[in-house]
Amino acid sequence: MATLTVHGTPVSTYVRTVRLLLEEAGAEYDLKSVDFFKGENDSTEYRAKHPFGKVPTLEVDGELLYETVAITGYLDTVVADNKFSPSDPMLQARMRQIMAIIDSYLYSPAITSIVIQRLIVPSQGGTPNEDKVNNAVAPAKTAVDAIESLTVGSPYLLGSEMSIADFHLIPIFTYLSMTPEFDAITAQAPKLRTWWDEVSKLPSVKKVCA
């Protein structure tokens, strides 16, 4: 079996996505800290691994892989025998569609705007920018409503089997659910509320996203 090293900041949603898959697969891996709060992701050494200075990067026997969708797809094949990718073509397309919605339409308003302003800025002694938060609620809700329309939501996004899409959404909900905006954003997403109640109790989620 290959030696797997995840380079990244443990609080990062994308790092958590990769670790959730590894934990659910029961795979062995090392986590090597790259602390973006200290700017370590911007160092020459780290930029040699990831030219965009983002986390995570996966190292497989010395070979480097970045972009989380590429990493989770690869890991699903090599450590989980594709257990987290539905074989039905439409279900597989739904999984990829949800992941693309998260990357293109949810991450930025939910994390870059709301979570950073509500959780990170105050933890560093600052005052949240209320305009930034308020302007992000509608786009975050649009993305959540779109995922709601595609999900089964019980127990997992695509139904009875956990898929890579769950690993991509869980870390976002972990943080968003800690903000006062969560109720408004999920007001019309009862299936996702049920999903979140259930997946947030998983041991892997408690371990990786605590």
Ligand X SMILES: N[C@@H](CCC(=O)N[C@@H](CS)C(=O)NCC(=O)O)C(=O)O
Piece of the chain touching ligand X by CB under 6 A; list 47-55, 115-123, 178-186, 196-204: 47-55
- The CB-of-187 to ligand X minimum distance in angstroms stands at 26
The continuous run of DSSP H or E covering 167 comes out as helix 164-176
According to the binding rule CB under 6 A, does residue 67 interact with ligand X?
A: yes
The residue type of 142 is T
Q: Using CB under 6 A, which of 4, 14, 23, 185 touches ligand X? A: 14
According to the binding rule CB under 6 A, does residue 55 interact with ligand X?
A: yes
Q: How far apart are CA 101 and CA 98, in angstroms?
A: 5
Site size with ligand X, rule: CB under 6 A: 10
Q: Using CB under 6 A, which of 46, 68, 73, 173 touches ligand X? A: 68
CA geometry: angle at 36 spanning 30 and 40, to 5°? Answer: 80
Piece of the chain touching ligand X by CB under 6 A; list 8-16, 89-97, 149-157, 183-191: 8-16
Listed in order, strand segments (DSSP E) in the chain are: 4-8, 30-33, 57-60, 63-66
The residue type of 130 is E
* Gyration radius (Cα) of the chain, Å: 17
Nearer to ligand X, 15 or 133 (CB): 15
- Residues forming contacts to ligand X in the complex (CB under 6 A) are 12-14, 36, 41, 53-55, 67-68
